[in-house]
Every structure is written in structure tokens, then in C-alpha cells.
């Protein structure tokens, strides 16, 4: 799973580096963000190229703005850690959630607004959607979940899985953990504040 992630990140960085458009990051009012992220929002099933063009025109969010979106609680799990960065050329926030018995979920939200974010969308979601892959160790497939397209990725040996979707016409969201059914339930409670 790490190998695939590194390949995707490398490809994303190449796309971002090749983009010569200069974008100034400006403070965007938090009220412009849709308050509820209904999984999936239905805006993730359209033409990927058209969505990418719209994303390219958006003003990117800052890491601080992204941190404000992440919920304190996720499907009964309490947030224990929060971090944000722009390592992929776009704002990204990650949060770890735990239960009392140390079960853990990880939530990652990437801002796909702006040229770099549009490249991230294209590499990590648009080009992967509807392309199922499997080998002896891992699998990746597109599933319909709660009315929208979600990329399910899993490790056959460990049972560690992730679900990734595009929502609010801007954000790429992923939940990861050891129990796929718990992840499916958690997707219903992801509300970007």
C-alpha cells in the first residue's frame, strides 16, 4: 500500500511542478465552504476533466482553513491528533481518531482548489475512478456507497483499508482503518464544518 501511495504522490508532484500558472493564495471566508459533506455529494460522478477545469479556477485554501473543517468526533471516535501541511502543493489536513479501546481511524482531507489541487484531484481520484486493480497483496476498486462513487483500497493480508471520495465540489476525503464496515459507517458521519 505504501508503494502505491508513493507512486501517486510522485505523480502528483510532477503534475504540480509542471503547472506554470501562478496562483496567489488569499484568505477565503470560511462561510464559503458548504457546511455539510453528504457522502457522497453526487458531485463526484460527473466528467472528471470538467471538474478539474472548475477546480483549477478556485482559490486554494490555507492549512489553517482546512483545520477548521475537520470534526472533533467521527462516528463515535474522538479526535486525538490533527496536522496540516502543503506538501503536495495544496492544503491538506489529517486527523487521527480513537475509541476507548484504542481502535483507530484516520481522516485526510485535501483541498482540490487551484492548479495544484486540481492536479491532486486528477491523479488521486479522477484517473483512478472506475479502474479496478488487484494483485496478491492489495486491491483497489470503485464502489457505489450512499449514492456516489467511492474508491475502496485494501490490503488483503492485514485488512487495513481506505475509502476515498470527492465532495462539496472541492474536497478529496479519505478514511482509513482496520475494519471496512466501520469505515463505511464513518463515511456517513464525515461533516466538514
Q: Which domain holds residue 90?
A: 2-18+32-188
Total structural domains within the chain: 1
The reported pLDDT for the residue numbered 90 is 93
What is the domain-level CATH number for residue 49?
A: 3.40.1000.20
Residues 6+ apart with CB under 8 A from 135: none
pLDDT tens, 60-109?
Answer: 999 999 999 999 999 889 999 999 999 888 999 999 999 988 899 999 99
pTM higher than the cut 0.85 = no
The reported pLDDT for the residue numbered 46 is 56
> 26 lies in a domain?
no
> 25 lies in a domain?
no
The reported pLDDT for the residue numbered 100 is 82
> 59 lies in a domain?
yes
> 27 lies in a domain?
no
> 23 lies in a domain?
no
> 139 lies in a domain?
yes
Burial class (CB in 10 A: 0-12, 13-18, 19+), 67: middle
> 40 lies in a domain?
yes
> 24 lies in a domain?
no
pLDDT tens, 13-51?
Answer: 333 333 333 333 333 333 333 333 333 444 444 588 899
Alpha helices, H only, the chain: 2-18, 48-56, 63-69, 114-121, 180-188
Amino acid at each position: 500500500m505504501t508503494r502505491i501511495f508513493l507512486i501517486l504522490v510522485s505523480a502528483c508532484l510532477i503534475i504540480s511542478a509542471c503547472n506554470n500558472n501562478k496562483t496567489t493564495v488569499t484568505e477565503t471566508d470560511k462561510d464559503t465552504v458548504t457546511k455539510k459533506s453528504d457522502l457522497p455529494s453526487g458531485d463526484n460522478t460527473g466528467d472528471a476533466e470538467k471538474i478539474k477545469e472548475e477546480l483549477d479556477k478556485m482559490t486554494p485554501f490555507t492549512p489553517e482553513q482546512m483545520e477548521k473543517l475537520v470534526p472533533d468526533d467521527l462516528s463515535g471516535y474522538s479526535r486525538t491528533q490533527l496536522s496540516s501541511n502543503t506538501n503536495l502543493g495544496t492544503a491538506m489536513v489529517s486527523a487521527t481518531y480513537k475509541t476507548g479501546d484504542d481502535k483507530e481511524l484516520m481522516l485526510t482531507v485535501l483541498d482540490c482548489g487551484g492548479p495544484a489541487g486540481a492536479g491532486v484531484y486528477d491523479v488521486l481520484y479522477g484517473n483512478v475512478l472506475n479502474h479496478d486493480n488487484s494483485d496478491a497483496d492489495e486491491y483497489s476498486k470503485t464502489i457505489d456507497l450512499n449514492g456516489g462513487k467511492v474508491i475502496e483500497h485494501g490490503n488483503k493480508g492485514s485488512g487495513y483499508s481506505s475509502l476515498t471520495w470527492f465532495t462539496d465540489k472541492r474536497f478529496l476525503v479519505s478514511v482509513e482503518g482496520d475494519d471496512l464496515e466501520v469505515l463505511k459507517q464513518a463515511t456517513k458521519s464525515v461533516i466538514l464544518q
